[in-house]
Structure 1
Amino acid sequence: MAGDPTKANLWTDADVYVSFNLTATLPANAGVPFGSDWHLVGLLDGDEGFPESRDEDTDDKFAWGGILVRTSRQHFKLTKSFTCLEDNETTRRLVWPGSTETRIKVPRPERVLVAFETREGEKVRRLITSQYAECSLDGDHGENETDLESATIAATIFPTDDGYLFERQATPVLQSISVTPATLSIADGDIAALAATATYSDSSTADVTAQATWATSDATKATVSAGFVTGIAPGAATVTASYQGQTDTCAVTVTA
Protein backbone atom coordinates (compact mmCIF):
# COMPACT_ATOMS: atom_id res chain seq x y z
CA MET A 1 0.00 0.00 0.00
CA ALA A 2 1.42 3.36 -1.04
CA GLY A 3 1.27 6.35 1.27
CA ASP A 4 3.12 8.43 3.83
CA PRO A 5 2.70 7.24 7.45
CA THR A 6 4.06 10.56 8.74
CA LYS A 7 0.91 12.24 7.43
CA ALA A 8 -1.40 9.91 9.40
CA ASN A 9 -2.63 11.35 12.71
CA LEU A 10 -3.34 9.61 16.00
CA TRP A 11 -3.97 12.44 18.45
CA THR A 12 -2.81 11.44 21.93
CA ASP A 13 -3.78 14.62 23.78
CA ALA A 14 -6.09 17.58 23.33
CA ASP A 15 -7.38 20.77 24.92
CA VAL A 16 -10.17 23.26 24.36
CA TYR A 17 -9.70 26.96 25.07
CA VAL A 18 -12.53 29.48 25.32
CA SER A 19 -12.44 33.26 25.30
CA PHE A 20 -15.42 35.34 26.37
CA ASN A 21 -13.70 38.35 24.82
CA LEU A 22 -14.53 38.35 21.10
CA THR A 23 -11.54 40.62 20.39
CA ALA A 24 -9.04 38.37 22.16
CA THR A 25 -5.66 38.09 20.47
CA LEU A 26 -4.99 34.82 18.69
CA PRO A 27 -1.61 33.12 19.18
CA ALA A 28 0.76 33.91 16.32
CA ASN A 29 1.25 30.22 15.51
CA ALA A 30 0.86 26.72 16.91
CA GLY A 31 4.03 27.08 18.98
CA VAL A 32 2.81 30.15 20.89
CA PRO A 33 0.73 29.63 24.08
CA PHE A 34 -2.74 31.13 24.44
CA GLY A 35 -2.86 34.47 26.26
CA SER A 36 -4.65 35.53 29.43
CA ASP A 37 -7.95 36.16 27.60
CA TRP A 38 -8.23 32.43 26.89
CA HIS A 39 -9.53 29.94 29.47
CA LEU A 40 -8.67 26.24 29.51
CA VAL A 41 -11.77 24.04 29.69
CA GLY A 42 -9.83 21.35 31.55
CA LEU A 43 -10.00 17.57 31.35
CA LEU A 44 -11.81 16.21 28.29
CA ASP A 45 -13.30 12.84 27.38
CA GLY A 46 -10.85 11.47 24.82
CA ASP A 47 -13.16 8.67 23.71
CA GLU A 48 -15.78 11.23 22.70
CA GLY A 49 -13.19 13.44 21.00
CA PHE A 50 -14.32 16.43 18.93
CA PRO A 51 -17.23 15.13 16.80
CA GLU A 52 -18.32 17.44 14.01
CA SER A 53 -21.66 17.62 12.24
CA ARG A 54 -22.61 19.54 9.11
CA ASP A 55 -26.13 20.49 8.10
CA GLU A 56 -27.08 22.02 4.78
CA ASP A 57 -30.28 22.40 2.78
CA THR A 58 -29.96 21.15 -0.78
CA ASP A 59 -32.39 21.35 -3.67
CA ASP A 60 -31.74 19.26 -6.79
CA LYS A 61 -32.85 20.62 -10.16
CA PHE A 62 -33.66 18.16 -12.93
CA ALA A 63 -34.21 18.54 -16.66
CA TRP A 64 -36.77 16.61 -18.66
CA GLY A 65 -35.86 12.97 -18.65
CA GLY A 66 -34.74 13.10 -15.03
CA ILE A 67 -31.23 14.43 -15.68
CA LEU A 68 -29.68 16.23 -12.71
CA VAL A 69 -28.42 19.62 -13.88
CA ARG A 70 -28.04 21.74 -10.74
CA THR A 71 -27.99 21.51 -6.96
CA SER A 72 -28.63 24.62 -4.91
CA ARG A 73 -27.14 24.78 -1.42
CA GLN A 74 -27.98 27.07 1.46
CA HIS A 75 -28.29 27.27 5.25
CA PHE A 76 -24.94 25.60 5.98
CA LYS A 77 -24.43 24.93 9.70
CA LEU A 78 -21.39 23.46 11.43
CA THR A 79 -21.43 22.13 14.98
CA LYS A 80 -18.35 20.84 16.80
CA SER A 81 -18.66 19.19 20.22
CA PHE A 82 -16.46 18.36 23.19
CA THR A 83 -17.15 16.62 26.50
CA CYS A 84 -15.91 18.29 29.69
CA LEU A 85 -14.97 16.22 32.73
CA GLU A 86 -14.27 19.13 35.08
CA ASP A 87 -16.65 21.32 37.05
CA ASN A 88 -14.85 24.66 36.99
CA GLU A 89 -15.66 28.30 36.38
CA THR A 90 -15.25 28.00 32.61
CA THR A 91 -17.36 24.86 32.18
CA ARG A 92 -20.10 26.22 34.46
CA ARG A 93 -20.27 29.38 32.36
CA LEU A 94 -20.67 27.26 29.22
CA VAL A 95 -23.33 24.99 30.74
CA TRP A 96 -25.19 27.75 32.61
CA PRO A 97 -24.41 31.06 30.86
CA GLY A 98 -25.65 34.06 32.82
CA SER A 99 -25.75 32.17 36.13
CA THR A 100 -23.70 32.86 39.26
CA GLU A 101 -22.13 30.75 42.00
CA THR A 102 -25.34 30.96 44.03
CA ARG A 103 -28.14 31.25 41.46
CA ILE A 104 -28.87 29.39 38.24
CA LYS A 105 -31.01 30.99 35.56
CA VAL A 106 -32.47 29.87 32.25
CA PRO A 107 -29.46 29.56 29.92
CA ARG A 108 -29.08 31.89 26.98
CA PRO A 109 -25.94 30.92 25.02
CA GLU A 110 -23.42 33.72 24.72
CA ARG A 111 -21.01 34.36 21.90
CA VAL A 112 -17.50 33.06 22.56
CA LEU A 113 -14.29 32.24 20.75
CA VAL A 114 -13.38 28.54 20.84
CA ALA A 115 -10.05 26.89 20.06
CA PHE A 116 -9.69 23.14 19.54
CA GLU A 117 -6.11 21.91 20.00
CA THR A 118 -4.91 18.36 19.30
CA ARG A 119 -1.39 17.04 19.89
CA GLU A 120 0.76 14.05 19.01
CA GLY A 121 4.33 14.28 20.25
CA GLU A 122 5.66 17.58 18.89
CA LYS A 123 2.85 17.84 16.32
CA VAL A 124 0.16 20.40 17.17
CA ARG A 125 -2.99 21.37 15.27
CA ARG A 126 -5.40 24.14 16.24
CA LEU A 127 -8.77 25.18 14.88
CA ILE A 128 -9.79 28.60 16.24
CA THR A 129 -13.15 30.15 15.39
CA SER A 130 -12.76 32.92 12.82
CA GLN A 131 -15.92 34.69 13.97
CA TYR A 132 -17.51 33.23 17.11
CA ALA A 133 -19.47 30.26 18.40
CA GLU A 134 -22.52 29.78 20.56
CA CYS A 135 -22.08 26.94 23.06
CA SER A 136 -24.90 24.97 24.63
CA LEU A 137 -25.36 21.73 26.55
CA ASP A 138 -25.86 18.78 24.21
CA GLY A 139 -27.87 15.93 25.71
CA ASP A 140 -28.29 15.02 29.37
CA HIS A 141 -26.27 16.33 32.28
CA GLY A 142 -26.49 14.82 35.74
CA GLU A 143 -24.78 12.95 38.55
CA ASN A 144 -24.55 9.31 39.60
CA GLU A 145 -22.27 7.11 41.70
CA THR A 146 -20.60 5.09 38.91
CA ASP A 147 -19.65 7.54 36.15
CA LEU A 148 -17.56 10.67 36.04
CA GLU A 149 -19.74 13.74 35.88
CA SER A 150 -19.53 15.14 32.38
CA ALA A 151 -21.10 17.75 30.16
CA THR A 152 -21.08 17.62 26.38
CA ILE A 153 -20.91 21.08 24.87
CA ALA A 154 -22.05 21.69 21.30
CA ALA A 155 -20.41 24.72 19.72
CA THR A 156 -22.34 26.12 16.76
CA ILE A 157 -19.74 27.83 14.58
CA PHE A 158 -20.75 31.13 12.96
CA PRO A 159 -18.80 32.02 9.80
CA THR A 160 -17.38 35.40 8.87
CA ASP A 161 -19.08 37.51 6.19
CA ASP A 162 -16.89 35.87 3.56
CA GLY A 163 -17.58 32.34 4.81
CA TYR A 164 -14.55 31.48 6.94
CA LEU A 165 -15.18 29.20 9.93
CA PHE A 166 -11.76 28.55 11.49
CA GLU A 167 -8.23 29.85 11.61
CA ARG A 168 -6.00 26.80 11.26
CA GLN A 169 -2.64 26.63 13.00
CA ALA A 170 -0.37 23.61 12.75
CA THR A 171 3.17 22.62 13.52
CA PRO A 172 5.04 22.79 10.20
CA VAL A 173 5.48 19.34 8.67
CA LEU A 174 8.87 18.28 7.33
CA GLN A 175 8.73 18.04 3.53
CA SER A 176 12.33 17.30 2.55
CA ILE A 177 15.98 17.72 3.43
CA SER A 178 18.81 18.77 1.15
CA VAL A 179 22.54 18.18 1.53
CA THR A 180 24.94 20.85 0.31
CA PRO A 181 27.10 20.71 -1.60
CA ALA A 182 25.53 17.97 -3.74
CA THR A 183 28.98 16.93 -4.97
CA LEU A 184 32.29 17.13 -3.13
CA SER A 185 35.88 16.58 -4.19
CA ILE A 186 38.48 16.31 -1.43
CA ALA A 187 42.05 15.08 -1.20
CA ASP A 188 43.08 11.95 0.63
CA GLY A 189 43.40 12.89 4.33
CA ASP A 190 41.47 16.16 4.07
CA ILE A 191 38.24 17.00 5.93
CA ALA A 192 35.29 18.93 4.46
CA ALA A 193 31.95 19.97 5.91
CA LEU A 194 28.50 19.18 4.54
CA ALA A 195 25.25 20.82 5.66
CA ALA A 196 21.75 19.36 5.87
CA THR A 197 18.82 21.76 5.55
CA ALA A 198 15.21 20.81 6.30
CA THR A 199 12.30 22.39 4.41
CA TYR A 200 8.85 22.45 6.05
CA SER A 201 5.27 22.74 4.83
CA ASP A 202 5.15 26.46 5.63
CA SER A 203 8.25 27.03 3.43
CA SER A 204 10.45 27.63 6.47
CA THR A 205 13.87 26.00 6.67
CA ALA A 206 16.17 24.84 9.44
CA ASP A 207 19.75 23.64 9.70
CA VAL A 208 19.54 20.01 10.86
CA THR A 209 23.16 19.05 10.24
CA ALA A 210 23.72 18.18 13.89
CA GLN A 211 20.42 16.28 14.24
CA ALA A 212 20.71 14.26 11.02
CA THR A 213 22.09 10.73 10.84
CA TRP A 214 25.03 10.47 8.45
CA ALA A 215 26.28 7.39 6.59
CA THR A 216 28.76 6.55 3.85
CA SER A 217 28.46 3.93 1.13
CA ASP A 218 32.18 3.06 1.30
CA ALA A 219 34.13 3.76 4.48
CA THR A 220 37.36 2.66 2.76
CA LYS A 221 37.10 5.76 0.54
CA ALA A 222 35.45 8.34 2.80
CA THR A 223 33.98 8.50 6.28
CA VAL A 224 31.46 10.94 7.69
CA SER A 225 30.57 12.12 11.19
CA ALA A 226 28.11 14.90 12.05
CA GLY A 227 28.41 16.17 8.46
CA PHE A 228 32.22 16.23 8.37
CA VAL A 229 33.64 14.09 5.55
CA THR A 230 37.17 12.68 5.75
CA GLY A 231 38.97 11.42 2.65
CA ILE A 232 40.47 7.97 3.33
CA ALA A 233 41.69 6.75 -0.06
CA PRO A 234 41.26 7.76 -3.71
CA GLY A 235 37.90 6.73 -5.09
CA ALA A 236 34.20 7.55 -4.77
CA ALA A 237 31.55 7.22 -2.08
CA THR A 238 28.02 8.41 -1.52
CA VAL A 239 27.30 10.18 1.76
CA THR A 240 23.68 10.10 2.94
CA ALA A 241 21.95 12.30 5.51
CA SER A 242 18.70 11.06 7.10
CA TYR A 243 16.33 13.10 9.24
CA GLN A 244 12.80 12.17 10.34
CA GLY A 245 12.23 9.87 7.39
CA GLN A 246 13.71 12.19 4.74
CA THR A 247 17.08 11.61 3.04
CA ASP A 248 19.46 13.30 0.62
CA THR A 249 22.93 12.49 -0.65
CA CYS A 250 26.26 13.96 -1.64
CA ALA A 251 28.53 12.34 -4.23
CA VAL A 252 32.06 12.39 -2.80
CA THR A 253 35.22 11.98 -4.86
CA VAL A 254 38.52 11.47 -3.04
CA THR A 255 41.69 12.39 -4.91
CA ALA A 256 45.28 11.43 -4.24
Structure 2
Amino acid sequence: MAGDPTKANLWTDADVYVSFDLSAPLPADVDTPFGPQWELVGLLDGDEGFPESREEDTDDKYAWGGILVKTSRTHFKLTKSFTALEDNATVRRLVWPGSTATQLKVPRPKQVLVAFEVREGTKKRRLVTAQYAECNLDGDRGENETDLESATIAATIFPTSDGVLFDRQETPVLQSLAITPASLPLTVGEIGALVATATYDDASTQDVTSACSWSSSDPAAATVSSGFVTGIAAGTATVTGSYGGMTDTSTVTVS
Protein backbone atom coordinates (compact mmCIF):
# COMPACT_ATOMS: atom_id res chain seq x y z
CA MET A 1 0.00 0.00 0.00
CA ALA A 2 1.44 3.36 -1.01
CA GLY A 3 1.36 6.32 1.34
CA ASP A 4 2.62 7.43 4.74
CA PRO A 5 0.56 6.19 7.73
CA THR A 6 2.24 8.75 10.00
CA LYS A 7 0.32 11.46 8.13
CA ALA A 8 -3.07 9.81 8.80
CA ASN A 9 -4.79 11.40 11.80
CA LEU A 10 -7.38 10.03 14.21
CA TRP A 11 -7.74 12.71 16.86
CA THR A 12 -8.61 11.15 20.23
CA ASP A 13 -8.87 14.28 22.38
CA ALA A 14 -9.61 17.96 21.89
CA ASP A 15 -10.22 21.30 23.58
CA VAL A 16 -11.54 24.72 22.64
CA TYR A 17 -10.12 27.87 24.21
CA VAL A 18 -11.62 31.36 23.89
CA SER A 19 -10.43 34.81 24.84
CA PHE A 20 -12.65 37.85 25.15
CA ASP A 21 -9.47 39.95 25.05
CA LEU A 22 -8.58 40.44 21.36
CA SER A 23 -5.02 41.38 22.35
CA ALA A 24 -4.42 38.10 24.21
CA PRO A 25 -1.02 36.69 23.23
CA LEU A 26 -0.79 33.47 21.25
CA PRO A 27 1.33 30.71 22.86
CA ALA A 28 4.85 30.58 21.41
CA ASP A 29 4.41 27.06 20.05
CA VAL A 30 2.09 24.07 20.18
CA ASP A 31 3.61 22.79 23.45
CA THR A 32 3.25 26.13 25.29
CA PRO A 33 0.10 26.35 27.46
CA PHE A 34 -2.45 29.08 26.86
CA GLY A 35 -2.07 32.10 29.12
CA PRO A 36 -4.50 33.44 31.74
CA GLN A 37 -6.34 35.56 29.15
CA TRP A 38 -7.69 32.33 27.60
CA GLU A 39 -10.66 30.34 28.97
CA LEU A 40 -11.27 26.62 28.48
CA VAL A 41 -14.74 25.82 27.14
CA GLY A 42 -14.75 22.48 28.97
CA LEU A 43 -16.14 19.09 27.98
CA LEU A 44 -16.86 18.71 24.27
CA ASP A 45 -18.92 16.24 22.24
CA GLY A 46 -16.29 14.16 20.44
CA ASP A 47 -18.81 12.57 18.07
CA GLU A 48 -19.76 16.00 16.79
CA GLY A 49 -16.13 17.10 16.50
CA PHE A 50 -15.29 20.43 14.83
CA PRO A 51 -17.38 20.53 11.62
CA GLU A 52 -16.32 23.21 9.16
CA SER A 53 -18.54 24.95 6.62
CA ARG A 54 -17.36 27.09 3.70
CA GLU A 55 -19.60 29.43 1.71
CA GLU A 56 -18.67 31.42 -1.37
CA ASP A 57 -20.55 33.11 -4.21
CA THR A 58 -19.28 32.04 -7.61
CA ASP A 59 -20.21 33.37 -11.05
CA ASP A 60 -19.04 31.54 -14.17
CA LYS A 61 -18.16 33.61 -17.25
CA TYR A 62 -18.57 32.08 -20.69
CA ALA A 63 -17.40 33.09 -24.15
CA TRP A 64 -19.42 32.60 -27.33
CA GLY A 65 -19.78 28.94 -28.01
CA GLY A 66 -20.40 28.15 -24.35
CA ILE A 67 -16.71 27.98 -23.38
CA LEU A 68 -15.99 28.62 -19.69
CA VAL A 69 -13.25 31.24 -19.47
CA LYS A 70 -13.44 32.75 -15.98
CA THR A 71 -15.08 32.27 -12.58
CA SER A 72 -15.49 35.15 -10.17
CA ARG A 73 -15.41 34.36 -6.46
CA THR A 74 -16.75 36.66 -3.75
CA HIS A 75 -18.21 36.65 -0.24
CA PHE A 76 -16.15 33.82 1.23
CA LYS A 77 -17.31 32.75 4.69
CA LEU A 78 -15.87 30.10 7.01
CA THR A 79 -17.76 28.69 9.99
CA LYS A 80 -16.28 26.19 12.45
CA SER A 81 -18.49 24.60 15.12
CA PHE A 82 -18.14 22.73 18.40
CA THR A 83 -20.61 21.25 20.88
CA ALA A 84 -20.10 22.15 24.54
CA LEU A 85 -21.37 19.72 27.18
CA GLU A 86 -20.84 21.95 30.21
CA ASP A 87 -23.06 24.71 31.53
CA ASN A 88 -20.26 26.95 32.77
CA ALA A 89 -19.61 30.69 32.74
CA THR A 90 -17.58 30.59 29.52
CA VAL A 91 -20.23 28.62 27.61
CA ARG A 92 -23.02 30.89 28.87
CA ARG A 93 -21.02 33.93 27.80
CA LEU A 94 -20.79 32.50 24.27
CA VAL A 95 -24.44 31.40 24.08
CA TRP A 96 -25.88 34.46 25.83
CA PRO A 97 -23.44 37.35 25.18
CA GLY A 98 -24.32 40.45 27.18
CA SER A 99 -26.38 38.53 29.76
CA THR A 100 -25.71 38.29 33.49
CA ALA A 101 -25.91 35.50 36.06
CA THR A 102 -29.51 36.49 36.85
CA GLN A 103 -30.82 37.88 33.54
CA LEU A 104 -30.81 36.59 29.96
CA LYS A 105 -30.75 39.32 27.33
CA VAL A 106 -31.24 39.24 23.56
CA PRO A 107 -27.86 37.94 22.36
CA ARG A 108 -25.59 40.26 20.45
CA PRO A 109 -22.44 38.29 19.49
CA LYS A 110 -19.13 39.83 20.48
CA GLN A 111 -15.75 39.52 18.83
CA VAL A 112 -13.67 36.79 20.49
CA LEU A 113 -10.52 34.80 19.82
CA VAL A 114 -11.08 31.06 19.43
CA ALA A 115 -8.49 28.26 19.47
CA PHE A 116 -9.25 24.70 18.37
CA GLU A 117 -6.81 22.09 19.70
CA VAL A 118 -6.78 18.38 18.77
CA ARG A 119 -4.46 15.68 20.14
CA GLU A 120 -3.43 12.12 19.38
CA GLY A 121 -0.70 10.65 21.59
CA THR A 122 2.23 13.06 21.40
CA LYS A 123 0.83 14.74 18.27
CA LYS A 124 -1.02 18.03 18.64
CA ARG A 125 -2.52 20.64 16.32
CA ARG A 126 -3.90 24.10 17.04
CA LEU A 127 -5.85 26.52 14.88
CA VAL A 128 -6.19 29.97 16.44
CA THR A 129 -8.23 32.76 14.84
CA ALA A 130 -5.83 35.21 13.22
CA GLN A 131 -8.19 38.14 13.76
CA TYR A 132 -11.39 37.17 15.62
CA ALA A 133 -14.63 35.21 15.44
CA GLU A 134 -18.28 35.79 16.31
CA CYS A 135 -20.02 32.91 18.08
CA ASN A 136 -23.70 32.00 17.81
CA LEU A 137 -25.88 29.17 19.05
CA ASP A 138 -26.30 26.76 16.13
CA GLY A 139 -29.71 25.04 16.10
CA ASP A 140 -32.10 24.37 18.96
CA ARG A 141 -31.17 24.02 22.61
CA GLY A 142 -33.22 22.68 25.49
CA GLU A 143 -33.39 20.29 28.41
CA ASN A 144 -34.84 16.77 28.62
CA GLU A 145 -34.44 13.63 30.73
CA THR A 146 -32.60 11.43 28.21
CA ASP A 147 -29.89 13.60 26.64
CA LEU A 148 -27.01 15.58 28.05
CA GLU A 149 -27.63 19.29 28.03
CA SER A 150 -25.45 20.70 25.28
CA ALA A 151 -24.89 23.78 23.15
CA THR A 152 -23.61 23.66 19.58
CA ILE A 153 -21.75 26.88 18.94
CA ALA A 154 -20.87 28.09 15.45
CA ALA A 155 -17.88 30.40 15.22
CA THR A 156 -17.86 32.61 12.13
CA ILE A 157 -14.20 33.29 11.37
CA PHE A 158 -13.26 36.82 10.25
CA PRO A 159 -9.99 36.94 8.27
CA THR A 160 -7.26 39.56 8.46
CA SER A 161 -6.96 42.18 5.72
CA ASP A 162 -4.66 39.88 3.76
CA GLY A 163 -7.01 36.89 4.06
CA VAL A 164 -5.47 34.93 6.94
CA LEU A 165 -8.11 32.96 8.84
CA PHE A 166 -6.07 30.97 11.37
CA ASP A 167 -2.61 30.80 12.87
CA ARG A 168 -1.60 27.13 12.80
CA GLN A 169 0.61 25.38 15.33
CA GLU A 170 1.44 21.71 14.99
CA THR A 171 3.76 19.08 16.45
CA PRO A 172 6.51 18.47 13.87
CA VAL A 173 6.30 15.07 12.11
CA LEU A 174 9.32 12.77 12.35
CA GLN A 175 10.93 12.37 8.92
CA SER A 176 14.12 10.40 9.57
CA LEU A 177 16.47 8.98 12.19
CA ALA A 178 20.26 8.97 11.95
CA ILE A 179 22.63 6.94 14.15
CA THR A 180 26.18 8.29 14.36
CA PRO A 181 28.88 7.28 13.92
CA ALA A 182 27.91 4.84 11.15
CA SER A 183 30.80 2.58 12.16
CA LEU A 184 32.27 2.21 15.64
CA PRO A 185 35.56 0.39 16.31
CA LEU A 186 36.02 -0.95 19.87
CA THR A 187 38.41 -3.15 21.78
CA VAL A 188 37.24 -5.84 24.18
CA GLY A 189 35.95 -4.16 27.33
CA GLU A 190 35.85 -0.70 25.75
CA ILE A 191 32.66 1.38 25.85
CA GLY A 192 31.68 3.66 22.98
CA ALA A 193 28.77 6.01 22.48
CA LEU A 194 26.27 6.28 19.66
CA VAL A 195 24.00 9.29 19.09
CA ALA A 196 20.50 9.13 17.62
CA THR A 197 19.31 12.32 15.89
CA ALA A 198 15.71 12.78 14.75
CA THR A 199 14.90 15.12 11.86
CA TYR A 200 11.39 16.56 11.53
CA ASP A 201 9.36 17.95 8.64
CA ASP A 202 10.03 21.53 9.76
CA ALA A 203 13.79 20.88 9.36
CA SER A 204 14.34 20.87 13.13
CA THR A 205 16.46 18.17 14.78
CA GLN A 206 16.52 16.60 18.23
CA ASP A 207 18.88 14.30 20.11
CA VAL A 208 16.68 11.29 20.94
CA THR A 209 19.43 8.92 22.07
CA SER A 210 17.90 8.33 25.50
CA ALA A 211 14.41 7.80 24.04
CA CYS A 212 15.52 5.26 21.41
CA SER A 213 15.07 1.50 21.62
CA TRP A 214 18.44 -0.15 21.08
CA SER A 215 19.40 -3.68 20.02
CA SER A 216 22.51 -5.59 18.95
CA SER A 217 22.54 -8.28 16.24
CA ASP A 218 25.25 -10.17 18.18
CA PRO A 219 25.26 -9.55 21.94
CA ALA A 220 28.17 -12.01 22.24
CA ALA A 221 30.32 -9.49 20.38
CA ALA A 222 28.78 -6.18 21.56
CA THR A 223 25.95 -5.09 23.82
CA VAL A 224 24.13 -1.77 23.79
CA SER A 225 22.16 0.20 26.39
CA SER A 226 20.88 3.78 25.99
CA GLY A 227 23.29 4.28 23.09
CA PHE A 228 26.37 3.07 24.99
CA VAL A 229 28.02 0.09 23.29
CA THR A 230 30.33 -2.32 25.14
CA GLY A 231 32.78 -4.55 23.32
CA ILE A 232 32.37 -8.09 24.66
CA ALA A 233 34.46 -10.28 22.31
CA ALA A 234 36.17 -10.01 18.94
CA GLY A 235 33.61 -9.83 16.15
CA THR A 236 31.13 -7.58 14.37
CA ALA A 237 27.62 -6.56 15.41
CA THR A 238 24.99 -4.33 13.86
CA VAL A 239 23.51 -1.99 16.45
CA THR A 240 20.01 -0.71 15.63
CA GLY A 241 18.29 2.34 17.08
CA SER A 242 14.51 2.72 16.73
CA TYR A 243 12.39 5.78 17.47
CA GLY A 244 8.93 6.85 16.34
CA GLY A 245 8.71 4.12 13.72
CA MET A 246 12.09 5.04 12.20
CA THR A 247 15.32 2.98 12.44
CA ASP A 248 18.98 3.35 11.58
CA THR A 249 22.10 1.27 12.26
CA SER A 250 25.77 1.43 13.13
CA THR A 251 28.32 -1.29 12.48
CA VAL A 252 30.38 -2.12 15.58
CA THR A 253 33.69 -3.93 15.10
CA VAL A 254 35.32 -5.34 18.24
CA SER A 255 38.97 -6.34 18.25
Which residue of structure 2 aligns with residue 244 of structure 1?
Answer: 244
**Aligned 1:129-168 pairs, distance under 5 A:** 129-168=129-168
1:229 partner SS: strand
1:90 partner SS: helix
* Inter-partner Cα distance in structure 2 for 1:212 and 1:196: 7
User: Alpha-carbon deviations, 1:208-251, whole Å to 9, x = none?
Assistant: 11221112233344332221223344443322110110111112
**Aligned 1:47-62 pairs, distance under 5 A:** 47-62=47-62
Deviation at 1:144, TM superposition (A): 1.3
Q: Which runs of 5+ in 1 are unaligned?
A: none
- 2:100 corresponds to which letter in structure 1? T
2:94 partner SS: helix
1:92 partner SS: helix
* Inter-partner Cα distance in structure 2 for 1:10 and 1:56: 29
Deviation at 1:252, TM superposition (A): 2.5
1:6 partner SS: helix
Q: Which runs of 5+ in 2 are unaligned?
A: none
Q: Which deviates more from structure 2 when the two are superposed, residues 145-154 or residues 199-208?
A: 199-208
User: Alpha-carbon deviations, 1:49-87, whole Å to 9, x = none?
Assistant: 100000111122223332222222111110000111111
Alignment RMSD: 1.6
Which residue of structure 2 aligns with residue 197 of structure 1?
Answer: 197
* Inter-partner Cα distance in structure 1 for 2:34 and 2:124: 13
Q: Which deviates more from structure 2 when the two are superposed, residues 27-36 or residues 214-223?
A: 214-223
* Inter-partner Cα distance in structure 1 for 2:132 and 2:184: 56
Deviation at 1:188, TM superposition (A): 3.8
Which residue of structure 2 aligns with residue 211 of structure 1?
Answer: 211
Deviation at 1:29, TM superposition (A): 1.1
- 1:65 corresponds to which letter in structure 2? G
* Inter-partner Cα distance in structure 2 for 1:192 and 1:76: 61
- 1:231 corresponds to which letter in structure 2? G
Q: Which deviates more from structure 2 when the two are superposed, residues 212-221 or residues 154-163?
A: 212-221
Q: Which deviates more from structure 2 when the two are superposed, residues 184-193 or residues 97-106?
A: 184-193
TM-score w.r.t. the length of structure 2 is: 0.94
TM-score w.r.t. the length of structure 1 is: 0.93
* Inter-partner Cα distance in structure 2 for 1:190 and 1:99: 74
| 1:70 correspondence with 2:70 | yes
Deviation at 1:113, TM superposition (A): 0.3
- 2:62 corresponds to which letter in structure 1? F
Name the count of aligned residue pairs. Answer: 255
User: Alpha-carbon deviations, 1:22-65, whole Å to 9, x = none?
Assistant: 00111111111111111111111111110000011112222333
Q: Which deviates more from structure 2 when the two are superposed, residues 199-208 or residues 106-115?
A: 199-208
